[in-house]
Amino acid sequence: MEAIMLAGGFGTRLRPLTYTRAKSLLPILNKPMIVHLIETLPDEVNKVILAVNYRNDQIEKYFKEHDCGKEIIVNDESKPLGTGGAVKFAEKHISERFLVLNSDVICSLNLSDMIKFHIKNQSMSTISLWPVENVSEFGVADVKENGNIVDFVEKPKAEDAPSEFINAGAYCLEPDILDYIDTGRLISMEKEIFPQIIKDTGRFYGFKFEGYWMDIGRITSYIEAHKFLMQKKKIDICKGDNCEIYGILKESCIGNNVYIGKGSKLNSTIVYDNVVINDNVNLTGCVVGENCKIGSFSDLKNSVLGDNEIAEEETILDNKVIWSQPIPKGYPDKQIGNVIEE
């Protein structure tokens, strides 16, 4: 069985971290986000097709150097194709029923159970469903008691919502669905293809699951995902190799070759590899990119330093993004073809 993982986005809401790396390679607990997803795949999935565009060379390099126990195919799109276009572009690698997964979602979905549900209902398309309180911010599924979805209502008022369930970004699909998708253009599976499947076949189902679901789309959710997974693992810090820590860390994750000086305090902060944090530095709710240096007596809150940035001594930052280098050519100002909208 194959799984297509949508990993072509620029991750504009996570800049400047994504100025220098593919979004799907952003580390979560010092392991690329996409690897967390691969590890959730059932044994029957033996081939993973990565739909990539931006920074595809980084993704190819990573999977050449790391064995994830599955055959990995990097399917490079010459231009962003959206969810539907990416699926169609992977058609030559599809031989049977297949999964489509959004690479920036961390959740408790049991994919084996979802596949069984799909087969039991003889579904053409089954999507994961997650309950939310703020239905007015999402497309909401009109789902019957048996799981059959008959419609989607876009951003309804709370009193008009047909349910509390939204598309959670994981799909189990029959190969016939490929016939519905045009070749070579940006297509939204959610807006163009799914409504047609509902209309033509009625064999469109939603699989509800419980536990947790996090769309890693913003710096705040990126930090919260770290904190949640550390709590789940019952650890207060996560650290890489060759680190020298003389300060205090709480609910924080640091990479390899990190130095933290005396009197420094890190709270709810993520630090990448090869970073120097000098004495008496306070970091709260921050992300510090690779090869950064932070001078003594600095105080940073809810701020992000891109790779290779330097914060001089006594730097004070609150809710700031630091990037002093050129923005990569072709990097967009806004999102392109997202799977899950907020």
pLDDT at res. 338:
43
Lowest mean pLDDT segment, chosen from 3-12, 66-75, 134-143: 134-143
Give which of 177, 71, 165, 170 is closest to 117, Cα–Cα: 170
User: Which residues have C-beta within 8 Å of that of residue 299, sequence separation ≥ 6?
Assistant: 281, 282, 315, 316, 317
Q: pLDDT for 18-69, tens place per residue?
A: 999 999 999 999 999 999 999 999 999 999 999 998 888 999 999 999 998 9
pLDDT at res. 340:
38
Helix (H) or strand (E) holding 52, with range, is: strand 47-52
Structural domains for the chain: 2-215 (3.90.550.10), 236-322 (2.160.10.10)
pLDDT at res. 294:
98
Helix (H) or strand (E) holding 157, with range, is: none
Q: pLDDT for 302-342, tens place per residue?
A: 999 999 999 999 999 999 999 999 998 888 876 554 433 33
CB atoms within 10 A of CB 290: 21
Active site residues: 155
Dist. CA 108–CA 96, nearest whole Å: 25
Q: pLDDT class for 190, splitting at 50, 70, 90?
A: confident
Q: pLDDT class for 258, splitting at 50, 70, 90?
A: very high
pLDDT of residue 118 exceeding 60: yes
At 144, list the tokens. Answer: 């019957």
Dist. CA 81–CA 309, nearest whole Å: 33
Give which of 21, 121, 116 is closest to 61, Cα–Cα: 21
pLDDT at res. 254:
97
pLDDT at res. 293:
98
pTM reported for the whole predicted model: 0.90
Kindly list the distances between the CA atom of residue 267 and the CA atoms of 133, 227, 251, 281, in Å, as whole numbers in the listed order.
29, 10, 6, 11
Query: Exposed, middle or buried: residue 220 (CB in 10 Å: 0-12, 13-18, 19+)?
Result: exposed
pLDDT at res. 155:
81
